[in-house]
Structure 1
Amino acid sequence: MMVLKKWDELPEALKNDEVRVYYDILSKKKGSLILKRLFDIAGSTLLLILLSPLFLILAIVIKADSKGPVFFRQTRVTQYGREFKIYKFRTMVNNAEKLGSQVTTRNDSRVTKVGHFLRKYRLDEISQLINVLTGDMTFVGTRPEVPKYLAAYTNEMMATLLLPAGVTSEASIEYKDEEKLLNSAGNVDEVYVREVLPSKMKYNEKYIQHFRFIGDIQVLINTVKAVLS
C-alpha cells in the first residue's frame, strides 16, 4: 500500500524543514493514501484490459510509420527520488534523446507523423498504466522528471517526492501546451528549469497541502475535459 516511510527512513535529500511541513500533512492522510493505491491497482488493471485492442492498433501504426521500438522507455524519478523506467508509446524518431534536448518543443523535428497525433490526444501516455499497476506511478501526482532536472529542485520542491510520480495533475492540465511555451526559447533546458519548472511545482506543492482522495477523482475528470477540449 501507499504509506509513508518513517521520517528517519527518508533519503537525506528529503529530510529538511520545508519537506517536514508536507510530510506532517500527509502523515495524517493514511486512509486517503491507501484508497489512492487501491484505486490505482483497480483502475489500471481494468483500463489495461479494456484498452488492450487500442494498444495493439497503436503498436502496429507506430511500427509502420517509423523504425524503432513501440515503446519509449526513459529513466525518470519517482517517490523518494527512486529512478524507474517510464513507459510511453514512441512519438519520436529512434534515439531522439541523442539528437536534442530532453524537453520537447511544439515544432520538434524529432516527432514523427504518428507521434504528432498521439501527442495531440495524449495517447502516448496511456502506456503509463503499466507503471501505475507496478506502483512506480500513480494516476494523480507530480509528473516524473528526468534525473538531470532533479538538481534544480529547491528544498520545498523535494516534498513532491514524498508521493509516487503521477500520470496527470493540475500542473499538467495548466501546462498542457507546454511545448508551445518552449517553442520560442533559445535554450530550452534553461527556460524550462528557470521558468516552467518552478511554476508547475507551485501547483504540485498545493496538491500535497490539500491532498485528499476525492480530489484525485476531480483532477482525473478535469484531465479528460482538458484533453477533449
Structure 2
Amino acid sequence: MIFKIVFDKIAAFFGLIVLLPFILFVSMLIKIKMPEGPVFFIQRRVGQKGELFNMYKFRSMSISHGGSSISVKGESRITPLGAVLRKYKIDELPELLNVLIGNMSLVGPRPDVPGYADKLVGEDRKVLLLKPGITGPASLKYANEEELLALQDNPEKYNDEVIFPDKVRMNLEYYYNRSFWGDLEIIWKTVLR
C-alpha cells in the first residue's frame, strides 16, 4: 500500500514535469479555441471512503451548457477541440495533479459523481475503500464509452442498466485481485491505447 502511494506520487511528479510543455500547449489551444471560460474543468467527485474532492481536467465543453452527467460522442456541448482532447484522453492529463495531491491514484476505479456513488450498496461499496484512479480495468474496457452511448436510443438508461453495473463488477474484481504488477500492466495498456 505504501509502495503504491510512493510510486503514484513519484510517477505523477515526473509525469507533470515531462508533460509540462505539452500541458502548456494544450492550455494555450483551449484559450484560443474556447476563449470564454477557464482552461480547466473542476468537478466534485467521490473519492476514497466516500469523501468528496475536486477533480481536474482540461475543459472540453462550452461553458453555457446544461445536461446530463454522462457524455455522448457528437453532443453539441462538446467543442471540436474538446472532442479531440476526449478522444485521446488528453483532457485527463491534469488528473496527475490529483495523484500528486493524494486524492487519486494512477490505477483504480474512476471516481463517480455523487449521484452514481450513492447507488453502490452492500459489497459494491468496497470499491469506495480504494483511491479512485486515472485508469483501471473498467476504463480500458470502456475507452470508447462515448461512442458506445451514442449508438443507444436512451444513453442514460443504457449507462445506468448496462455500463455502470459492469464497471462496478470490474472495480470489485480489481479490489479483490489488485497488485502492483497488475497496476503496471494496466498503465502500460493505457499508454498503448
Normalised by the shorter chain, which TM-score bucket? over 0.9
Q: Distance in 2 between matches of 1:151 and 1:161?
A: 11
| Residue 171 (structure 1) aligns with | 138
1:101 and 1:188 in contact (8 A); partners too: no
- The 1:77/1:215 distance shift into structure 2, 3 A limit, reads same
1:103 matches 2:70? yes
1:92 and 1:115 in contact (8 A); partners too: yes
| Correspondence for 2:63 among 94, 107, 112 | 94
| Correspondence for 1:181 among 119, 124, 148 | 148
| Correspondence for 1:57 among 25, 43, 46 | 25
1:158 matches 2:134? no
Q: Offset of 1:116 from its aligned partner?
A: 1.1
| Residue 192 (structure 1) aligns with | 159
| Residue 37 (structure 1) aligns with | 5
Deviations 1:54-88 (A, max 9, x none): 11111110011111100000110010000011000
Q: Distance in 2 between matches of 1:82 and 1:186?
A: 34
Aligned with 1:72: secondary structure?
A: strand
Aligned partner of 2:122: which letter?
N
Aligned with 1:129: secondary structure?
A: helix
| Correspondence for 1:130 among 97, 113, 120 | 97
Q: Offset of 1:53 from its aligned partner?
A: 0.8
1:142 and 1:204 in contact (8 A); partners too: yes
Aligned residues: 192
Aligned partner of 2:75: which letter?
D
1:203 matches 2:159? no
Aligned partner of 2:48: which letter?
Q
Matches within 5 A, 1:57-96: 57-66=25-34, 67-96=36-65
Q: Distance in 1 between matches of 2:67 and 2:190?
A: 29
Q: CA RMSD in A?
A: 1.2
Query: Which of the two has higher C-alpha Rg?
Result: 1
Aligned with 1:100: secondary structure?
A: coil
| Correspondence for 1:217 among 178, 184, 187 | 184
Aligned partner of 1:74: which letter?
Q
Q: Distance in 2 between matches of 1:86 and 1:225?
A: 24
| Residue 12 (structure 1) aligns with | none
Aligned partner of 1:189: which letter?
E
1:143 matches 2:110? yes
Task: Please give the TM-score of this superposition, normalised by the length of structure 2.
Answer: 0.95
Aligned with 1:87: secondary structure?
A: strand
Aligned partner of 1:182: which letter?
L
Unaligned runs of 5+ in 2: none
Q: Offset of 1:187 from its aligned partner?
A: 3.9
Q: Distance in 2 between matches of 1:197 and 1:222?
A: 22
1:131 and 1:137 in contact (8 A); partners too: yes
